[in-house]
Amino acid sequence: MSRRLLVTGGAGFIGSNFVHHWCQHYPNDRVVVLDALTYAGNRANLAGLEERENFRFVQGDICDRSLVDRLLQTENIDTITHFAAESHVDRSILGPGAFVQTNVVGTYTLLEAFRQHWQANSQPANYRFLHVSTDEVYGSLGADDPAFSETTPYAPNSPYSASKAGSDHLVRAYYHTYELPTIITNCSNNYGPYQFPEKLIPLMCINTLMGKPLPVYGDGKNVRDWLYVGDHCSALDVVINRGAPGETYNIGGNNEVENINLVQMLCELMDELAPELPVHPAQNLITFVKDRPGHDRRYAINATKIKTQLGWTPSVTVAEGLRLTVKWYLTHHDWWQPLLSEEYQAYYQKNYVFSAS
């Protein structure tokens, strides 16, 4: 059965990878991307798709109720895959307002519009609202704590994770109150092609190429559970097709790595794969800087539920995924160079000036 998808945030990192995945696997489905094109959104991420007959890009804000209503109705949407968000913890510390607006009010706007649309169409059983969320809502783990499961209590610590937690609660409530067929996924750190340069992995690749310091927060021993973005997309695919409404699924890579080790792995890959680096070996650029305020120590995902109930497991190891990613950044200067804009430089100065040790 073919679907008609509204993909919010489809010009961002994960959203665009998802759209490529979906168009490749389900070429007969209608895909409508709604994206405000904030600093993190980039139409170049959708190159090769815009010419397709059953693809449409709409620039707009998820908080714009009349626009969302119009799209749901005229495109006869049955599935919302909701990626649009302010997504960077560091930016949420510098300015939380946009996070509350997009992540909480935006999600509420989509839920209300979708509820009305679903009810107006006599509540079809195939409708889905997939809310793409994060492991950060669960807070911070100690070294020996068990990994986050779907029943771990929420304990968000940054304005970003608090706003995502708020949106998760709304999504959950719309299922319990109205029986709207919503599903939530909580995923660990993604990496791969099209990730905006200010996130850890692209930042390290690009700074190495430019001979700039590689800023590692605090003691570098914070742990993240890294998942290759293609694996995240395949997980979302099985959740859309086989997940049960009202459920939450945790998605993770079984790849816990301390930040400093990850940065060292990246430096080794850059030494091997990049010709004529300005500073060699690249690890000479590693610079410990002041820690991120409220920096969560460790994230780890227990992905047993999605494995046992839906049969999904990640397929890419961190060593393979980092190699693919480094190669991608090395061969896509034309993609990332224009993103190092004045706005990017201004953000960079604000974020790292206060934290320089």
- Among this protein's residues, is 69 annotated catalytic? no
The nearer residue to ligand NAD, 277 or 300, going by C-beta atoms, is 300
Q: C-beta of 299: minimal distance to ligand DAU in Å?
A: 5
Instruction: Enumerate the β-bridge partners of residue 257.
Output: 224
Instruction: Specify the DSSP class assigned to residue 10.
Output: T
Q: C-beta of 204: minimal distance to ligand DAU in Å?
A: 8
Spatial distance between the Cα atoms of 257 and 263, rounded to a whole number of angstroms = 10
325 near ligand NAD, judged by CB under 6 A: no
CA atoms within 13 A on the CB side of 80: 32
**Span near ligand NAD by CB under 6 A; candidates 50-58, 176-184, 185-193, 284-292:** 185-193
Residue 36 contact partner, candidates ligand DAU, ligand NAD, none, CB within 5 to 8 A by sort of partner: ligand NAD
Spatial distance between the Cα atoms of 235 and 17, rounded to a whole number of angstroms = 12
Q: C-beta of 13: minimal distance to ligand NAD in Å?
A: 3
Spatial distance between the Cα atoms of 286 and 109, rounded to a whole number of angstroms = 43
- Tell me the site size for ligand NAD, rule CB under 6 A: 30
Nearest Cα residue to 132 out of 17, 299, 254, 259: 17
Q: C-beta of 243: minimal distance to ligand DAU in Å?
A: 20
User: Phi, psi (5° rounding) for residue 283?
Assistant: -65, -10
Spatial distance between the Cα atoms of 313 and 216, rounded to a whole number of angstroms = 30
Count of other CB atoms within 10 angstroms of residue 95:
11
Q: Which of 46, 68, 111, 132 binds ligand NAD (CB under 6 A)?
A: 132
Spatial distance between the Cα atoms of 222 and 220, rounded to a whole number of angstroms = 6
Give the footprint of ligand DAU on this chain (CB under 6 A): 87-90, 134-136, 188-189, 199-200, 203, 215-217, 222, 224, 259, 292, 299
From 35, 78, 86, 136, the catalytic residue: 136
The catalytic residue positions are 135-136, 160
Residues that bind ligand NAD (CB under 6 A): 8-9, 11-15, 35-38, 40-41, 61-63, 83-87, 102, 106, 132, 134, 164, 187, 189-190, 196
